[in-house]
Structures are given as structure tokens and as C-alpha cells.
Amino acid sequence: MTHPSPNPTENSAERDHQQTQDRERAADQLIERCGYAAAALALVPLPGTEIIAVMPVHVGMVVGLGALYDAPLDRDGAAELLVRVGGTVGASLIGTRLASTAAKTLLPGLGVLIAAPLLYATTLGLGAVVRAWLSCGGDLDPATARRVYRHAERGARRAFDPKQPPEAAPRA
């Protein structure tokens, strides 16, 4: 049987720490599920459809992250934040989207195998930046945002690398 700590500050600190861990786990799960949903959109056989179809997935992810971080966002606010994040990470995001469309156009059937990991990685990158932005109250400098995006995106791409053991790939 455990006894309550006589120090209420200690209990409060432990509770805060546990809440933070729970929130981070929930954010990991949300971002990863949205990454898989985005990757599934690559299965749509028409080139370019994944670019349009992935936006609701990303908006839903941002709305969900906002709720987890006590920063409620409606769909418009989430879309606006995605545009800001997209503008900050810029070329990486646009290049990935164009590459996935090109793969599906130039390599019908086989292009899905290229597009799916790209959409997964992009989604995890966006989720990581939004999480960082929410964690610091919206005060995230562009260089840090780009660094967070690249780190998450590279980790997600390694998760799809058949030469790497699954446990070696970092999570969002």
C-alpha cells in the first residue's frame, strides 16, 4: 500500500509530469494515425488527389493537437496554422508533395510505394512542428520549425526503410 506524500507540491509536480507524459503519448498516437491516413490516400490512383485529399487529415490533426495542448482551434484556425507552418518549412513540404504526385504519374501502380512514405513523413513532420508551436505558446522561430520538421520527416522516412529494423526508427 502506498501512502500519500506529505508534501503537496511533490504530488502536484508528479501529477503535472504524468499529465505531460499522457499528453505527449496522445499526441504521438494522433500524429502517427494521421500519418497512416495520409499514406493511405496515396492509394487513390489519380495523380494529385493526395494533395487535395490530405488537407482534411492535416486539419483534423491540428484541431486534435490544439485540444490536447489546451489551445482549441476550429477548422479555419487549424487551416491557417497549417498555411503558416507550410510557409515556414516551405520547400521541403512542396517538394515532397510534388514528388509524390510525380511518382504516381510517372510510375502508375509502383508510384504508390513512393508516394505513401512521402505523405506519411510529411504528415509526421507537420505534426511535430504544430506540436512544438503549441508547446511554446506559438513562439516558435522559423529555424527551429524547419529543424523540427526535418528531424521528424527523416525519422518517418527511416520507418519505411526496409533495411532498417523497425525499433530503430524514431517516433513523431
Whether residue 1 is contained in a domain is answered as no
Higher pLDDT among residues 51 and 102, named by residue: 51
The pTM score is 0.76
CB neighbours of residue 100 within 10 Å = 29
Whether residue 162 is contained in a domain is answered as yes
**Domains of the chain: total:** 1
Q: What does 44-95 look like in DSSP terms, one character per residue?
A: SSSTTHHHHHHHHHHHHHHHHHHHHTT----HHHHHHHHHHHHHHHTHHHHH
Tell me what pLDDT residue 151 has: 93
Range of the domain at 128: 8-168
CA atoms in the 13 A half-sphere facing the CB of 99: 15
Whether residue 72 is contained in a domain is answered as yes
Tell me what pLDDT residue 30 has: 97
Tell me what pLDDT residue 16 has: 79
Whether residue 39 is contained in a domain is answered as yes
Whether residue 3 is contained in a domain is answered as no
Whether residue 19 is contained in a domain is answered as yes
Tell me what pLDDT residue 172 has: 45
